[in-house]
Structures are given as C-alpha cells and as structure tokens.
C-alpha cells in the first residue's frame, strides 16, 4: 500500500534546514527540509533522500531523472513540473496546484497524491506500482503505454482519461468520476463501477463490433 503523510513523517529523521533554495543538477539532498517559498536552479539527476518540501514553488526547476526517496511534498505548485524518467519511491504529495506535470517514462512506487489539482498529468510510458490518488482534480490524465499495477483513484475527478496501450493490473477506477475515456479497449485489468460500465457501454460495444439499436 502507498505510504500516507502521517506514516512517512514518522519515518523521517530529524531534519536540517536546506542551506538555500538553489538546487544543483546531480546533487544530493539528504535529511533536509526545504521551507519554500521558491526553489531555483536545476534538479536534473539530483537525489532527494528523506526530505520535506513545504509550500515550495517549483517553477522553472526541472526534476528530470531525479530520484526522490522517502519524501513529503506539502502544497507544492508550478505552472509546469517536469519529472521525465524520474524515480519516486515512498513519496507523498499532499495538496498542491500544477498546470502540467510531465512524468513520462518515470518510475513511481508507493506514491500517494492527496488533494492535488493538476490540469494535465502525463504518465505516458511510466511505471506506477502501489500508487494512490485521493481527492485529486485532474483535467487530463494521459497514461498511454503506461504500466499500471495496484493503482487506485479515490474521490477523484478526471476530465479525460487516456489508457491507450496501457498495461493494467489491479487498477481500481471506481472512485473516479471520469468525464471522457479514451482507450476503452484497454480497460483490461481495471475494476470499474456499474455506473461507469453504463456510461462506457457504447464505446465497449463499438470496440467489439456490436451494433445497438
């Protein structure tokens, strides 16, 4: 199961304040607290181990190929946050507002997003294992070609969900209000509600070559 914020905080050691908001590509932050409000620099290929980022503005700071392990992010925000090919292990994002989060090719294991609002969440080609989205509002969630295992959406609103060529195992969509589904043929491995089945029945019938009427 994904770790939650309370459990993660209990695992963290006493933290030191980060020396400043400037991040360095390839650098290591170990046991640090970043109190916000704005980070700067470049976190590409950086490592964040047992860190807390609180109320941080991440605008203009790429996290591509970064590794975050046992980290808590509280109310982060950015018009765009890039996590291409990043690795997240035991990470909780509690609150926050993003225009776009690009995590294509990323690896997410035991990750929880709670109360996050994001216009576009890009998980194309990503691998997500034990991931929970709770109380999130997502304009578009694109999981094209993703590997989804033990993924749960609870009390979420999703404007558009793209599952084309996704590989799903134990993916629970029952707790999501999905306005539009792209990739109805790729629901194999997903659990959906009776209401969702009714709403997507026409698409399923069309995919199977069934004419209704």
Give me the pLDDT at residue 37, please. 86
DSSP 31: S
Does residue 24 contact residue 134 with C-beta atoms inside 8 Å? no
Give me the pLDDT at residue 53, please. 96
pLDDT tens for each residue of 134-160: 999 999 999 999 999 999 999 999 999
Check residue 192 and give left, alpha or beta (phi > 0: left; psi -120 to 50: alpha): beta
pLDDT tens for each residue of 191-202: 999 998 888 888
From 28-37, 100-109, 127-136, the region with the lowest mean pLDDT:
28-37
pLDDT band at 11 (very low <50, low <70, confident <90, very high): confident
pTM of the shown model = 0.93
Give me the pLDDT at residue 1, please. 67
Give the whole-number percent of the chain exceeding pLDDT 90. Answer: 81
Question: Which phi and psi angles does 165 have, rounded to 5°?
Answer: 65, 15
pLDDT tens for each residue of 88-108: 999 999 999 999 999 999 999
Integer CA distances (angstroms), 171 to 26, 160, 176, in order: 34, 17, 11
């Amino acid at each position: 199961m994904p770790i939650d914020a309370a459990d993660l905080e209990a695992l963290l050691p006493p933290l030191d304040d980060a020396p400043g908001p400037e991040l360095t590509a390839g650098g290591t932050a170990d046991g640090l607290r970043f109190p916000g409000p704005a980070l700067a620099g470049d976190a590409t290929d950086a490592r964040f181990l047992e860190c807390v980022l609180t109320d941080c503005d991440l605008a203009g700071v790429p996290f591509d190929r970064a590794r975050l392990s046992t980290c808590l992010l509280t109310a982060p925000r950015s018009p765009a946050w890039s996590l291409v090919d990043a690795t997240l292990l035991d990470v909780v994002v509690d609150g926050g507002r993003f225009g776009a989060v690009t995590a294509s090719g990323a690896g997410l294991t035991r990750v929880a997003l709670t109360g996050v609002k994001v216009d576009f969440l890009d998980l194309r080609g990503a691998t997500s294992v034990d991931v929970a989205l709770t109380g999130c509002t997502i304009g578009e969630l694109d999981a094209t070609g993703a590997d989804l295992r033990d993924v749960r959406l609870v009390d979420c609103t999703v404007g558009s969900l793209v599952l084309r060529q996704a590989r799903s195992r134990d993916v629970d969509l029952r707790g999501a209000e999905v306005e539009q589904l792209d990739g109805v043929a790729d629901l194999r491995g997903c659990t959906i509600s009776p209401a969702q089945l009714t709403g997507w029945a026409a698409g399923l019938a069309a995919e199977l070559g069934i004419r209704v009427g």
